[in-house]
Structure 1
Amino acid sequence: MFIPKAGSKIQIHSYKHNGNIHRVWEETTLLKGTRTVGIGGNDRTLVTESDGRTWITREPAICYFHADHWFNIIGMIRQDGVYYYCNLSSPFAWDGGVLKYIDYDLDIKVFPDMTYNILDEDEYELHRREMNYPEEIDYILKKNVNDLIHWIRQRKGPFAPDFVDNWYERFLTYRS
């Protein structure tokens, strides 16, 4: 298995359960890449939606992916603190210099004070029916919502104090 080296520029591809591309982040600097973990940083990167529309991210972000968890976490660095956007998703996989995962619609937005909102439950239910998510996927995703909430409350992983700041400092070393 090819795993890009730290400092490499990678793309991130998000798919839907039916195999269709959902979203592509054009360039992320890989800060740590192993078989089980992918941590990247980006700032003002081009994002292309499945319908061809494009937009550019507004702030620096640290992205955390794990091969053993059905979620990924993006810490967005803003003036008033770190906001997190958590996607319930398949574990990630490497495909050359591309980090890939399946997005399962459910999201959790976490604010700097660690309060949070669960988002897109209606979209999840619609896509679960339309794309025939197997019952075991539904079970796994609902369990991982609970796991993710536990991580938020316990300040675990990317929610730990200084996690995003420390990885952002490393990201800056590659931007000279």
Structure 2
Amino acid sequence: MKLLEEREGCLIAEGKAGRRLKHHTKGQTFTVPHASLEVYALNEGYTVSFDIAEGGVISIYCNIAQPCVRKGNDVSFVDLDLDLLWNEELGWRVVDEDEFEDNRRRLGYPDELVRYAQRSLRDLQERAHRGRFPFDGSLDAQVSRIAAETAKLNE
């Protein structure tokens, strides 16, 4: 990941196609096949990944999480299981509600954490619906740049 800027209480970073992503709780490492523009909220409960291919955003993957923590060049967050996804075919949808409920019971999530996760999900859905940052188009120039660079690499 390459940190691009800090804006609106968020770190904005670029992810290159082919990067490795380590999922600590699942104990797996994934290879991400496409480039992305990443948003890590430092004061709110979300991360957003604009997945870029074919000249633009092909999907959006949002984690509901505790606020991200920056330590030097590293950014980490605690994923709270709930995810908000978008793609052209299906639009916006919430996934992993069953995983959230299973972990809520199994791990004994405190009521305050459950309310925080649910509130964070509603707030992020509202941002998307109303076109507020990071869904307000203010990142379009960076998405276009990444898409163009990715297309050149694939020529």
Question: If the length of structure 2 is used for normalisation, what is the TM-score?
Answer: 0.81
Whole-angstrom distance in 1 between the partners of 2:106 and 2:63: 19
Deviation at 1:35, TM superposition (A): 10
Of 35-44 and 55-64, deviating more is 35-44
SS in 1 for 2:44: coil
Whole-angstrom distance in 2 between the partners of 1:80 and 1:34: 24
1:100-159 deviation line (CA, Å, top 9, x unaligned): 110010001112478211000010011111221111111111111111111111121122
Whole-angstrom distance in 2 between the partners of 1:80 and 1:29: 20
Percent identity reads: 22
**Which residue type is aligned with residue 104 of structure 1?**
L
RMSD value over aligned CA atoms?
2.4
5+ residue gaps, structure 1: 1-27
Is contact 1:81–1:112 with CA below 8 Å preserved after alignment?
no
What are the within-5 Å matches in structure 2 for residues 21-32 of structure 1? 28-32=1-5
Question: If the length of structure 1 is used for normalisation, what is the TM-score?
Answer: 0.72
| Change over 3 Å in CA distance of 1:170–1:117 after alignment to 2 | closer
- Residue in 1 that maps onto 2:125: 149
- Residue in 2 that maps onto 1:41: 14
Greater than 4 Å deviation, 4+ residue runs:
none
Aligned pair count reads 144
5+ residue gaps, structure 2: 150-155
Q: Which has the higher helix share?
A: 2
